Each structure stands twice: as structure tokens, then as C-alpha cells.
Amino acid sequence: MELEQIIKENISQAFQNLYNLTVGPGSILLQPTRKEFAGTFTFVTFPYTKSIGKTPDIIGVELGKYLKENTTEVYNYNVVKGFLNLEIDDAIWAGVFRQLATDADFGYAKDKKSKVVVEYSSPNTNKPLHLGHLRNNFLGYSVAEILKANGHEVVKVNLVNDRGIHICKSMLAYQMYGQGETPQSSGIKGDHLAGKYYVLFDKAYKSEIDELVSSGMEAEAAKKEAPLMRHAQEMLQKWEQGDEEVMQLWQQMNGWVYEGFAETYQNIGVDFDKFYYESQTYLLGKSSVDEGLAKGVFFKKENGSVWVDLTAEGLDEKLVLRADGTSVYITQDLGTAELKYQDFGYDSSIYVIADEQNYHMQVLQAILKKLEKPYAHGIYHLSYGMVDLPSGKMKSREGTVVDADELVAEMVETARKQTDELGKIEGFTAAEAQQLYHVLAMGALKYFLLKVDPKKRMLFNPEESISFIGNTGPFIQYTHARIAAILRKAAELNIPTDATAYAEAVTFHETEREVITQLAAFPNVVQEAANLYAPSVVGQYAYELAKAYNRFYTEVSIFQETNTAVLSFRVTLSKMVAQTIKRSMLLLGIEVPERM
């Protein structure tokens, strides 16, 4: 049983014995003692004054005295205005450290839990990945890894949006302006080449709208009647009919895009167990529409379009199939949800999708419930806020997005400049230095995007993210590299790493207690992050652990220590911190360097 739980049970017993008052351990809240007071855990006595009939200070003193005299864990106590600060005996801390240092799977759940599908990335094949996609990819990958650490069986899937009107826009523009250009002939990465023609379409389309409006047509009508849009709609219908020429162009351009995506995914360090393609799932979605019509869940309008009435669910009427028989997004999502369940029989399915799609996801779950699908209640929308830049919101149609590949390259270059200026690559080969720059760049980028609660909209600042000072990825990475250097020196000096070195009664330095406290919290942190689907919980923990270790490193001597047992303990403590930082950062998809 972990120390915090033991203390709660001790306090519960104290209430029973002192006041004949039943206070369950589960209702007892402990918080970390503030730095200016002695202690590890603080218990607030104010809520119990009425039931006990004594002042908060008196209750604190009586509880503290009882715990000191009747438990082995509490060494001393102090009371500050109703706040009972508990000091834990150092022999207990030694036992806590021995326990966690000898657990090979420390922090990870031992028991197997449910089966979870995490769907993330979900790119469109008409453009490259951008900054918003990076937050999506990093969030999805990290949540999957955190769930795995909690004992869940996790499947990572990527639903590629490879069909639809937006894809036809890129195809049509390429047909009109491409002149046979290829990634090879142009030297442009495949996904970037498709994105180039998506932007060209939008510019030409807007010119047509302006011409129609200037000739007297209403703006909304002009958007529908513009020749380019009508051609794109015709191309979509030809695609659904399997037109040979359209299909050949579609396969060629998508092939270019997939090669580009694969390169980006490898570069940013995310992966998938299975890819789904909307071109293969939308027909299954049409089967769901037929099923809904047969069950009376859906209804047809006079023009032949199919709808669902969700007003009873607090939503509205929703189109599920167009009058011309073509699919809409929700049709495809119905099909994909069914296919994922057929493939994996999941207990829950997490969709990592921006908060712009909150309503869409409410509609999807409401329809699946009306269709009485067994997996409807297991759907969870991990909604995240958009990423803004100092220059404002990104718009892919206008070509003002922050391209993911370009951003990563810029981050690597920034990491190179900062690392070189700080002189942290002495003795590195050119290849080793380049690898370090990439590790630092990705650590900076991932940590900055993941340290914020997923639901919050955020402002990305590249310069701030790459700093070696403050709450950043490089600060935590540098702490790990510092410890790795200490461990190399310890190995050279043949200092053993022995978790039992402090088996006898000892006196810890306060920074050592703080580090052990931080280490002991790791399993709860991993569990909380999984419960909340929030990598930010792990990120904050890694930062606090790195800060605690750096205080220890500054205030306590390691290699000048003459007591061999103490020396061995401090090296072992350092080793445990390095392992836990590494585990924490890997849960965020971040590598930590051994040298800097």
C-alpha cells in the first residue's frame, strides 16, 4: 500500500479513537506541505470543527499527537492555523524508496483492463499536415501510450479522409494547371504538391465568385453556381460512379500524398496499428442509412435526401445522405464506427478531434444510440482546442497554415543554434549532433503542445518552447542528460546502485525526501492522466520531478560524500529519477538524450 493511503487510514483511525467519529479514508484529503513549513503531507482540520466541537488548531494538535504516538509513519507534526503538517519518519522514506526502486515496472499497471481504440491524425489527402495536425498527432499518440501504461489493450488507428469534394478540388486544379508535374519532376514532397493545387483551386474559385457577384448574382448563389465548383461536384459524382480517368488521377495524387505523410509521421515519431480510408468506409455508412430507414430512425424528404430528427436529444435535424445519393461526413463516420467495432470489438473508442467538431461528434453518438449499436456508449470525443500563432488563425485554403514539415525543420535549426551557443555538443560527431538537434526540437515541440490541458485553445511560441530554462521539454531533457553523466561517472568509480543502502535508520536531506515524494507519486500520475485523457498531467509531473532533482543536485554533494552507503543511495536515487523522467517523457512520445 502506498504511503499516502496509509496516512489517510491512520487519520481515519485517529478520528474514530479520539472522537468516535467515522471519517472514511476515501474522504480524507491530503495536500503537499508548503515549502516554508516542516512536513510532507498537510491535513486541513477546518471541516471537522462543527461535528467535533473544537477549534481547528486543537483538533490539529490532538490528531498530530495521536499520530506521532500511535503510528510508525509520523515522526513529528506542527499545526499552523488549522493546517496539520505531518513529518514522515526517514526510515519510512527509506522503505518507500526501496519498494519503488526494486519494481522493474514502476508506474505501470500490472492488471489488464479494457480494449480501447484511439483514432487520431485523420488527415485530408488534399494538403500536407499543419501545426493543428501536430497537436492532434501528439495528443493521440500520447493518450494511447498512457492508456497502455495503465493496462489497457490499445489499438492506434488513422482514418484518412481520401475522398469528397475537397479532394476533387485539388484533382480538378491539377487537371487544369498541372501539366504533368510530379513530386520527382518538381522536387516537391507529394503532400505539399497536392496542397499547392488545393490553394490554386481556391484562388481561381474566388475569382469566379467575384465575377458572378459583380454581374449581379447573390454571393451564396455565386458560390454554388461558380463553374469550378460545379465541375468539382461533377468530378465527385464521377468518382462515386468509378469513372476510369477520375479514379486513375485520384490514385496517382493520393499515392504521392501517402508517401509524404509516411515521411512526416516517421519524422515526428508517431505510428499507427491500422489505417482506414473513407473511400472504403462510406459505402458501409450507406448501409447504416438503409438500416436506419428500415428501423424508422431516419426519414426521406421529398427530394430524396435522408435525414434524422435529433430534436429530442437537444440537437436538430441532420442530413445523412444527399438527394443525389452521395455521402456526407456523418455517413462515412457511421460506417467507420461499425467497421472499427467489427475489427476490434472495442470497449471504448476515443476520437481525437478538434473542438470545432463538438456538435458533429454529439450527432454521431446520438445517431448510433438511436440505431441501438452496442458500441454507442463507448464513444468518447477527446476534444482539443485549436493552436494559434502570434500572427493569428491558420487557413489552409488560403495557404496561410503553418506547415508541419517546415515547422519541424525550423525547430531543428533553432535547437542547433541554441545548443551550439551553449556549448553542449563537445565531442559529438556531426551525425550525433544532428540527432541531438532533432531530439531536442521534437522534445520542445511535443512538450509545448502537450503540457497544456487538451481542451484549452493555445498560442504556440517556437522560441519559448526551445528554451533550456523553465517549463520546457529541453529543460527536462537536459536534466536527464545531466543524470546520465553522473551515472557514467559513478560506473567509472565502481559505485554500486543499491536500493537497500539506506536499510538502517538514517537522516535524509530535505531535498532527498522531496525527490522520493515526487518519485512515489508517479503511479498515481499515470493513472490520473489516463482517467482524464490528459498528457498534460504527465508533462507537469516530469517538470516537477526535474525541478526537485535539480534542487537536490544543487544543495547536496554526491561524489564528495565519504559515507559509502550514502554515496550509493544518492547515485541510486539519481538513477531512479533518470528512469522515471525517461518513462514520463516516453509517455509523451519524447526521447531523452544520454549526452548533451
Instruction: Kindly list the domain boundaries of the chain, sorted by start residue.
Output: 1-88, 404-588
d(CA 181, CA 587): 41
% helix, strand, coil for the chain, step of 5: 60, 10, 30
The answer for residues whose C-beta is within 8 angstroms of residue 15's C-beta and 6 or more apart is: 21, 22, 23, 48, 63
Residue 380 half-sphere exposure, CB side, CA atoms within 13 Å?
15
Q: Is the CA virtual torsion 486, 488, 493, 494 positive or negative? A: positive
Per-position DSSP letters for 377-442, written without gaps between them: GGEEEEEE--EEBTTB---TTTT-S-BHHHHHHHHHHHHHHHHHHHT--TT--HHHHHHHHHHHHH
The answer for residues whose C-beta is within 8 angstroms of residue 592's C-beta and 6 or more apart is: 439, 443, 476, 477, 480, 481, 581, 582, 585
Element (H, E) at 227: helix 227-240
CB 85 within 8 A of CB 32: no
Class of CATH domain 404-588:
mainly alpha
Give the pLDDT of the chain (596 residues) as one tens digit per residue: 588 899 999 999 999 999 999 999 999 999 988 888 988 899 999 999 999 999 999 999 999 999 999 999 998 999 998 999 999 988 888 888 988 888 888 989 888 889 999 999 999 999 999 888 999 999 999 999 999 999 999 999 999 999 889 999 999 999 999 999 999 999 999 999 999 999 999 999 999 999 999 999 999 999 999 999 999 999 999 998 999 999 999 999 999 999 999 999 999 999 999 999 988 887 787 888 889 999 999 999 999 999 999 999 999 999 998 888 777 888 889 989 999 999 999 999 999 999 999 999 999 999 999 999 999 999 999 999 988 776 654 444 444 568 899 999 989 998 998 888 877 777 888 999 999 999 999 999 999 999 999 988 888 877 788 888 889 999 999 999 999 999 999 999 999 887 666 655 468 898 999 999 999 999 999 999 999 999 999 999 999 999 999 999 999 999 999 888 889 999 999 999 999 999 999 999 999 999 98
Q: State whether residue 42 is helix, strand or coil.
A: strand
Work out the end-to-end distance of the chain between its first and last CA atoms, rounded to an integer number of angstroms.
38
Q: Name residue, grid cell 438500416.
A: 291
Phi and psi at residue 300, to the nearest 5°:
-100, 145
Phi and psi at residue 94, to the nearest 5°:
-60, -40
CB 117 within 8 A of CB 349: yes
Listed residue (275, 359, 278) closest to 367, CA to CA: 359
Q: Is 198 exposed, middle or buried (0-12, 13-18, 19+ CB in 10 A)?
A: buried
Q: Cα–Cα distances in Å, from 157 out to 120, 179, 343, 352, 450?
A: 7, 36, 11, 11, 20
Q: Name residue, grid cell 438527394.
A: 323
Class of CATH domain 1-88:
alpha beta
Largest CA distance in the chain: 92
Q: Name residue, grid cell 488534399.
A: 126
Query: Where would I find the beta strands (DSSP E) of 120-185?
Result: 153-160
